[in-house]
Amino acid sequence: MTITTREWLLSDAPQTRRQARLGALYQGWLTFRANKLALVGLVILILLVLIAIFAPWISPKSPFAQNLGGRLQPPSAEHWLGTDALGRDILSRLIHGSRITLFIVGTVALVAPVIGLFIGTLSGFLGGWVDQVLMRITDIFLAFPKLILALAFVAALGPGIGNAVLALALTSWPAYARLARAETLSIRKADYIAAARLQGAGPMRLLVGHVWPLCVSSLIVRVALDMAGIILSAAGLGFLGLGAQPPMPEWGAMISDGRAFIMDFWWVAAMPGLAIFVVSLAFNLLGDGLRDVLDPKGAKE
């Protein structure tokens, strides 16, 4: 009797390791798909990635082209989202600004969790004075509000998108370090860790091969939920003129440019603000869906 692909993936007795892995992935997708809002968030983020990739082709106008004769025009057939104080098309600037947003989010999401994972697992696994030193350093970073600390770093390094990304990464890792340490403390005395140690596995092999894989799922959920805060922090730096510099179409800087006209020409600041809201909401919805898949106990609580 032949079985369908679905039955093969959902088998209670997988015959190979490959079948077991594919079955776990499929079951995770079914759990994620059951959360309709998470699917909405995923679709929005996929659209954002596609918009960023094809920005030069789908943008109706140049994001830098100025037209002082058509400044502060309301949304119309020619300019769907209106124009700013220099006559630049807001829709085109939003489309190209999605690249900056994804660059910031992607870089921080790659750098901060890796730093936090390494410090947190090292602290929890070794314990003793290493744990005390690393956690006190972590506490120092956590004692300051993230945005205030990022402002201090950018003020010291100088304005610019690269320095803003570095500042956000340096201020985001402590939360991941705390989470990784808590996970490590719960598993470092497990039987399979002791068995691997008896087989001759050294501390680094135990960390990389046995501890890190068990911490990754929690970090992924935390990263997805933190992306909205990172976007808002990046927009805050851009709003203050410490992020991407003119004429780059960064969403926070666009809001700053439009605040002087907010009462009479609301669309100049409202459109980039709406873009930040939608993308932040999408990341939160996606994070909730990933939590259902990767941390079902936490989702139930």
Tokens for 133? 């030193």
Residue 8: exposed, middle, or buried by beta-carbon count in 10 A (0-12, 13-18, 19+)?
middle
84 neighbors 101 (Cβ within 8 angstroms): no
Q: What is the model's pLDDT at position 301?
A: 47
Structural domain contains residue 245: yes
DSSP state of 73: P
89 bridge partner residues: 83
The dihedrals phi and psi of 89, each to the nearest 5 degrees, come to -70, 120
Q: Residue 121 is part of a domain; what is its CATH number?
A: 1.10.3720.10
Tokens for 266? 């609301």
Q: What is the model's pLDDT at position 296?
A: 57
Tokens for 129? 């004075």
Structural domain contains residue 221: yes
Q: Report the chain (301 residues): mean pLDDT per 10 consecutive residues.
A: 73 80 85 91 95 93 89 90 92 94 89 92 88 91 86 86 88 91 84 78 77 85 87 88 86 90 89 94 91 67 47
Q: What is the C-alpha separation between 245 and 260, in angstroms, rounded?
A: 18
Q: What is the C-alpha separation between 226 and 287, in angstroms, rounded?
A: 9
Structural domain contains residue 8: no
- Rounded to 5 degrees, what angle do the CA atoms 165, 167, 171 make? 120
Structural domain contains residue 166: yes
Look up tokens 């994972």; give the residue: 117
Q: What is the C-alpha separation between 247 and 236, in angstroms, rounded?
A: 17
22 Cβ contact list (under 8 Å, min separation 6): 9
Structural domain contains residue 274: yes
Tokens for 182? 């808590």
Structural domain contains residue 228: yes
Q: What is the model's pLDDT at position 54?
A: 95
State the number of CA atoms in the 13 A half-sphere of 248 facing the CB. Answer: 20
Structural domain contains residue 284: yes
DSSP state of 207: I
Residue 52: exposed, middle, or buried by beta-carbon count in 10 A (0-12, 13-18, 19+)?
middle
Pick from 279, 254, 283: which is nearest to 51 by CA? 279
Q: What is the C-alpha separation between 193 and 178, in angstroms, rounded?
A: 21
The residue segments making up the domain with residue 128 are: 29-53+89-300
Q: What is the model's pLDDT at position 48?
A: 94
205 neighbors 147 (Cβ within 8 angstroms): no
Q: How many domains does the chain have?
A: 1
Strands (E), the chain: none
Q: What is the C-alpha separation between 266 and 281, in angstroms, rounded?
A: 22
Specify the 3-state DSSP secondary structure of 63.
Answer: coil
Structural domain contains residue 5: no
CA–CA distances in Å: residue 84 to residues 81, 138, 257, 282: 10, 43, 8, 26
Q: What is the C-alpha separation between 268 and 72, in angstroms, rounded?
A: 8
